[in-house]
């Protein structure tokens, strides 16, 4: 499955942001998880301290790196997301909304954008993470060029290795292995954002075409699984640290509570 794109690809960069999840671990919310208001990140300056939608942490970082065309993948019923984000102009972006096709995990949502993104560099991130300040996508895009990598993962210190993908990197920045939620480990870093070339977009697309035959009867597949499959098939996958602070994923009730502005007077 190591199928490199033969034609030269554009250095055009597009963002892909999956917002099709069900947030089943959070119970009933007043809005979609991705636009839930959260407090400013650690070290964030230049704001008035007011809450803002969690996905804006990611979208603003894409915009800061010049990634202004972003595909957002939705599922049926999450209409409050486009109602809130609109056409993206408030965040300096051009947003396009796509509907989730197959409900088998984040990689399938990402692949929904394949007809539109297959010849571009992709900037990817999760919209339910509070991210510390920093030009993370600029760092990733510049590193990708210098390393001629198919994928570059953006690394963060991991404060809960039992909840994230842990990344083993050699001294040259090449990823040796992705371990999903290992619990106890000597590894220190997880990944939360990434950029990749059409080589990986094509690999992911073909991987899912084969996986689709068994997807309904298998556990949900994660993007880390496909990154590892890329490593196993000889893709050039690197990683670089982009933050000194862990990200905060609001996917559980405890972490959502940590990220939320306390009620006034408390």
What's the pLDDT at 1?
A: 42
Over residues 142-168, the pLDDT tens digits come to: 999 999 999 999 999 998 888 899 999
What is the distance of C-alpha 112 from the center of its chain?
15
Beta-bridge partner residues of 205: none
- What's the total number of domains in the chain? 1
Say if 154 falls within a structural domain.
no
β-pairing, 151-157 vs 189-196, is antiparallel
The reply to whether the predicted model has a pTM over 0.75 is yes
pLDDT tens digits along 62-97: 999 999 999 999 999 999 999 999 999 999 999 999
Q: Is residue 85 part of a domain?
A: yes
Residue 52 lies in a domain: yes
pLDDT band at residue 28 using 50, 70 and 90 as cut-offs: confident
For 5-26, what is the mean pLDDT?
A: 74
Domain for residue 107, yes or no? yes
Q: Is residue 25 part of a domain?
A: yes
Percent of the chain with pLDDT over 90: 76
pLDDT of residue 263: 44
pLDDT for res 264? 45
Q: Does residue 188 lie in a domain region?
A: no
Question: What is the residue-wise DSSP string for 180-233?
Answer: ES-SS-S--EEEEEEEE-HHHHHHHHHHHHHHTTTGGGSPPP-HHHHHHHHHHT
Rg (CA), the chain: 18
Is the pLDDT at 258 greater than 70? The verdict is yes
Average of pLDDT values for 238-245? 96
- Token pair of 107 as six digits: 């990689």
pLDDT value of residue 3: 45
Residues 68 and 96 sit within 8 Å (Cβ to Cβ): no
Mean pLDDT, the chain, rounded, equals 90
How is residue 4 annotated by DSSP? -
pLDDT band at 261 (very low <50, low <70, confident <90, very high): low
- Residue 236: inside a domain, yes or no? no
* Domain at 41, CATH number: 3.90.550.10
Q: Does residue 69 belong to any structural domain of this protein?
A: yes
As a whole number of angstroms, the longest Cα–Cα distance in the chain is 61
pLDDT digits (tens, 9 = 90+) for 90-114: 999 999 999 999 999 999 999 999 9
User: Domain range holding 99?
Assistant: 13-149+193-216+248-259
Name the pLDDT band for 260 (thresholds 50, 70, 90): confident
Task: Using the predicted structure, report yes or no on whether residue 184 has a pLDDT greater than 90.
Answer: no
pLDDT tens per residue, range 40-63: 776 665 566 678 899 999 999 999
| The predicted structure's pLDDT at residue 9 | 40
């Amino acid at each position: 499955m190591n199928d490199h794109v033969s034609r030269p690809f554009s250095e055009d960069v597009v963002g892909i942001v999956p917002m099709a999840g069900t947030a089943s671990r959070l119970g009933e919310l007043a809005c979609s998880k991705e636009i839930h208001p959260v407090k400013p990140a650690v070290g964030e300056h230049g704001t008035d301290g007011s809450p803002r939608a969690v996905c804006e942490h990611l979208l603003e970082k894409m915009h800061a790196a010049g990634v202004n065309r972003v595909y957002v993948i939705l599922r049926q019923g999450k209409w409050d997301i486009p109602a809130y984000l609109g056409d993206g102009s408030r965040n300096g972006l051009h947003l396009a909304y796509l509907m989730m096709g197959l409900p088998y995990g984040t990689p399938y949502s990402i692949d929904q954008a394949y007809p539109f993104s297959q010849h571009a560099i992709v900037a990817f991130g999760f919209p339910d993470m509070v991210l510390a300040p920093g030009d993370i996508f600029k760092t990733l895009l510049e590193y990708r060029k210098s390393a001629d990598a198919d994928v570059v993962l953006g690394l963060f210190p991991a404060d809960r290795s039992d909840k994230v993908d842990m990344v083993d990197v050699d001294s040259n920045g090449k990823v040796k292995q992705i371990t999903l939620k290992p619990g106890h480990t000597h590894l220190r870093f997880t990944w939360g954002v990434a950029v990749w070339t059409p080589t990986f977009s094509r690999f992911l697309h073909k991987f899912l075409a084969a996986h689709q035959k068994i997807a309904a009867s298998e556990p949900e597949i994660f993007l880390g699984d496909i990154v590892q499959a890329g490593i196993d098939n000889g893709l050039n996958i690197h990683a670089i640290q982009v933050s000194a602070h862990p990200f905060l994923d609001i996917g559980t009730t405890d972490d959502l509570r940590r990220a939320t502005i306390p009620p006034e007077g408390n």
